Structure 1
Amino acid sequence: MTMGANSRRPVLPSLLAEAGAQAARLEQVLWRARRLAETVAQGQRRQRKRGQGENFRQFRLYQAGEASSSIDWRRSSRDDEFYIRDKEHEIAQTVYLMPDLSASMHYCSRQALCSKEERALLWLFMLAEFFVKSGERVAVPGLLPPGLGRNAAEKLAAALLEYKSYPQTSGIKADFAAVGSKAHCIIISDFLDKVEDWERIFALLAEKGAHIGLIIIADPAETDFPFSGDTVFCDPESGEEVYFGQVQTMAAAYREIYQQQRQSLARQAAAFGGTLLEDETNAPLQNRIEKLERFLQRD
């Protein structure tokens, strides 16, 4: 059928309404992200008290065998660890944020406060604000090149609304090849793809000398498996449906497989020097701030 001018008119109001709803949702997420970014920044300032221009990546933990003369005793005196000033990181670094906005991230159970996608966006905007305010360059491959500058979160939100070709199929499909040498790469995903696929991504990033950070977002139903009776499960990306009767009898086996997958992912990430932060959508993101501060210090 040939689409004429008249056939497009009924579609426009629904498209405009959808765009307005998306913009309103992003505006709410942005407001929360800015508040959280400031909370994290305040926590970093309280912990560091290092002086102008210093950031959390300018120091790393002392390794056995290194010269004791390289220890920064002033920094080390504030903790129970020995720290070395990492001169490589005294200039602005590029932080690549890799959000997974695929169909599986749309999931939101009754136990959750929001969908995994909304939590991923909150992490994305908050981290963009935080890193830019810390003097770093931020990039989202496939969406925005390194830079951003002021109002980083707003620019990201506008780009997401306008740039329809951002990968929607799977977090594993992101443009990891675009990550620069010796940069910092933070992947925000539910990491439900095969661990072997992620291992290849970690190896690619490690070859570039990139520092790898994983923010693992899970819905409580994915970790607890609260289902019972006759249940139909649908793959949000392929549309495939699977029916199970008395599904509660599978709960123990499911949890064991789920934990094995998570442990395998953690081992593979650690093998390439990666750090992890786990987040469930049944708790406010504010509850993860302390963990985030430790995550940033290790990354």
Structure 2
Amino acid sequence: MESTQKKRNFSNFDEAAAYILQLLSKQIGINSIFIAKNDGLTNNIIKVHNSSKDLVEEGSSMPLPQSFCSLSINHGPSALVIEDVSENELTRSMDITANYGSGTFVGVPVYYNDGTVYGTICGLDDRYYKLSEEQLTTFEMMSTLLTYVLELEKANDQIQTLTAPIVPVTKGVAIVPVIGDITAPRAQVIIDHVLDKCSKESMDYLIIDVSGVLQINSVVGEYLLKLVNILKVIGVTPVITGIQPFMALGVPHFAAALKDVLIEANLESALKQLGFVLIKDCKEKTDLH
């Protein structure tokens, strides 16, 4: 019997976070469930699932000490429950409390593996809501799951960067060999990595070698064109090598859009165009006897 369950793939932390909030909302009837990220100073609402009332706004922010989330972080890894924010000594004098009447707040910190705080996962209502021990345990489990997702995303970003390393050739010249399947998220990681490197080091030419790319589509083609155009703007001359026939066939406009960019078949010819010659050192050993 064919399964009707849909396979869920998450390309980043935000997508996984949104799905986790949906799951929590089904299991816990509190009106608003949200994930907040903070830098120690500001509390930023990253993802929100509101039920009947829009009590929390996605994308909003406030100073961390003025938020309920700061209380959760100070409380530690177990769930902090404030059944009536208007009466509890931790919240009754806070300015934000006036927005929620005699409502209930629950919060659990979200950590990275090294113990530093990412933010919080919280529930909020403007009326009293009784949370069971099982529901509190679920909140804590979701916090642990978010830690796992954060670490996976961090590891994936590191892997993506390593698979497109910037290799210096000589002063002012470097190569980025792009290898494997290119997805839109990975293309963005490569762009960010390249721009970060160019901002830290003086670079005149960047050779982007795509001979190791397994496939390309219009979306990925747009990302590569974006990289090329950004390099031009910041004063780095892009050079493309290794464009395969299937790329030109799969994305016809790709090659046409690169008409003003130096394109060479391989690395050796690209370096020759830039005035460099690869010399093989062949010293003959002469018998002096």
What TM-score range do you get, normalising by the shorter chain?
under 0.3
Considering Cα pairs closer than 8 Å and 6+ residues apart, tell me whether 1 or 2 has the greater RCO: 1
Specify the structure having the higher radius of gyration (Cα). Answer: 2
| Superposition TM-score, scaled by structure 1 size | 0.26
Structure with a larger share of its residues in strand:
2
| Superposition TM-score, scaled by structure 2 size | 0.27
Structure with a larger share of its residues in helix:
1
